[in-house]
Structure 1
Amino acid sequence: DMQRVAIGRALVRRPKAMLMDEPIGALDAKLREEMRAEIKRLHIKQGSTTIYVTHDQIEAMSLADRIVIMHEGVLQQVGSPSEVYAHPANLFVAQFVGSPVMNVANAAVTMNGSGARVTVDGAAEGFLFPAELVGQLDAASVEQDRLALGIRPEGVMVSREPADGYLPVEAHIIEPLGSYDIVDLKVGAQMLRARTRSGFVGKPGVQVFAKLDPAQAHFFDTTSGNSLGVRL
């Protein structure tokens, strides 16, 4: 209530611009959710330009028209919430924005017949990708030992039965989150997290099958951390 009063006092003057520095960071989760909605409603009603400082990426994504992401005082990326989520400029942004965080794994890319294969570190087999991936990576002039694959959990597709393009993997940990589960899949030496419907996998330790959506894949230079700008 004190936070609501303080924000209300600031807004009642109808300022042209406001600076909010972690205004709801000390509240519990339920109150933060309520206050995010209230701040959004008041911002739309007032139309004031607001600079909102937060370390909570959920606050930033839900409230902002444009996000400025900084790390150790250095600007990383500026864009709309959808831009920084779908096209992160580097590894820091990729793993800061989004919950659960983006999967990142060292990977090698090879041609295989009419397509490309992306093999994560320690895996015996590679995921099938369009052949154009090889050309885009060649144009980026990145060495194989500096290549990292990034993909969000919703880009990791899971099947209980063998299917075309799916690789056998082990379900390692299952986190039930109500309407969906987050499942850790052991792929070679890596763990890739997938988002599945609730109860889809069943129990830890079972074998399932996984496939990556090329349209949701990102590739990074591990030395600079920068995105290679691959679009499939």
Structure 2
Amino acid sequence: MEHDGPDGPDSRPAAAPPGAAAVFGVRLPLAEAFVDVLVDTGVSHGLIGPREVPRIWERHVLNCAVVQDAFPAGARVVDVGSGAGLPGLALAVARPDLEMHLVEPMLRRTSWLQTTVERLGLQEQVTVHRGRAEDLAGVVSAPWVTARAVARLDKLARWCVPLVSPGGTMVAMKGRSAEEELAECRTALGRVGVVDARVTGHGAGILEEAVLTVDLTVGDRSSQSRGGSASDRRPGRRRRG
């Protein structure tokens, strides 16, 4: 099936690249089914631009799935601003052990996400929540929270940190400017309870360019109240990956 873009029909996505088998393993057919949904109803619903179709694997699906190594076995993960299920559904496909919660405020998108979850047979693994992150504090929480291209790091932390369990981590997918953005936002991050911050690379050897995440560890809120707020400490500067 072809999709008409602004300059004419866009081609179908290329076959899954070699790195996809390394990331998805035996669930590669499920990943291919997800790609089929993205380039079909994902485009018609305005969740994926038609021009993204030829590069859907490298730029979107694999780009998100390689971040799976950030999460331990059996982790409960909240994806804020899930949109087209990126990274949430890509992670669920790659890691059947993860318990994924997709947070999205727009009805049109949550309806699409729920339909896609059912189409892929992921109902036992994935839950869709309609609402803004800032309105779901106290309703949805997890030791791990992730987001992709939602907002600048300081604003994103204000929205997402309340969803992170004490001692948990927010894994924010960022571009090449991750280090610079982190440096600019360190003070603001400390004010919202972040006690450690670092940039991590993912997917080296699978993608042409590693995906960068800024990993923010949230302090124990009870200990903060006893021993001073996190804003009294600067998030660590260590880097791994």
Larger radius of gyration: 1
Q: Please give the TM-score of this superposition, normalised by the length of structure 1.
A: 0.29
Q: Please give the TM-score of this superposition, normalised by the length of structure 2.
A: 0.28
Structure with more strand by fraction: 1
